[in-house]
Homo-oligomer: A and B are copies of this chain.
Amino acid sequence: MIHPTAIVSDKAKLGKNISVGAYSIIYDNVELGDNIEIEAFCEIGYSTKLAENMPLSIESGALIRSHSILYQGSSFGENLTTGHRVTIREKTKAGKNIQIGTLSDIQGDCIFGDYVRLHSNVHIGKTTQVGNYVWIFPYVVVTNDPHPPSNQLSGVIIKDFSIVATSSVLLPGVTIGFDALVGAMSLVKKDVPDSVVVSGNPAEIVCSVEKIRNKFDRSKRVYPWRYYFERGMPWEGMGYENWLASLKKD
């Protein structure tokens, strides 16, 4: 299952049932769990002085699509899935069941919770903190430098269950609230409170997320999305409220 053209370091620690595609390279400082598929043309554990001797750790069940580059010094929980041509730099710490879309670029020193979804071509600046169950859509840029160029990083915080829609920019140091929705092509200059929709350049509060109705059936609400969307989430098949209740029983 290791393609004969793949280059795999003797020093890399590989679990069971690892697949490595044609022309992929596994460098020294790599620790892989079980049942992991790395496709063609990838670089896994890319070396950097910024994380010397720190391994890249990927827990079981990962799928790394082709042409992706993961630096040493980051760690991922179970069931990581990436698109193609993903770049993830050093010292990123990510939870389980996260998906990172094609062409996305994570600059390092970031934190991601569980079940985060980055769609294609998302740019996450250094020191960003992303919660659980967060969705970020294509061409969103999360920045960190309050007066570029400077040495003063001011990372963005994106809280649980929030959504950042296509082509928005989050300026340094803002916090995106729990359950909040940032509309497409918004320039977010100040904190977004919990459970509100913001949009525009610059972004302003539009309404509570509960005010938004289903495009095809105006009688139905669509936010907070956790009550209306289940695919790939731990509450798939039972609904968010039943899942929450089941957690409390345990």
* A contact face: mostly helix, strand, loop, or mixed: loop
Convert A226-243 into 0s and 1s, putting 1 for each residue whose CB lies closer than 8 angstroms to a CB of B: 001101000000000000
**Nearest opposing residue in chain B for A230, CB measure:** B151
Residues of chain B with a CB closer than 8 A to A167's CB: 139, 141, 167, 169
- How many interface residues does A have (CB within 8 Å)? 60
Asked whether, in the complex, the Cβ of B147 is within 8 Å of the Cβ of A212, the reply is: yes
A114 within 8 A of B: no
| Of A10-18, A38-46, A56-64, the one touching chain B | A38-46
A182 to chain B, nearest CB (A): 11
A121 within 8 A of B: yes
Chain B residues lying within 8 Å of A25, measured Cβ to Cβ, are 22, 40
Q: For residues 124 through 175 of chain A, which have their beta carbon under 8 Å from a beta carbon of chain B?
A: 135, 137-139, 141, 143, 146-152, 154, 163, 165-167, 169, 171-173
Q: In the complex, which residues of chain B have a beta carbon less than 8 angstroms from the beta carbon of A171? A: 184
- Chain B residue nearest to A229 in the complex (CB): B149
A74 at the interface (CB under 8 A from B): no
CB distance from A196 to the nearest CB of B (A): 15
A161 to chain B, nearest CB (A): 11
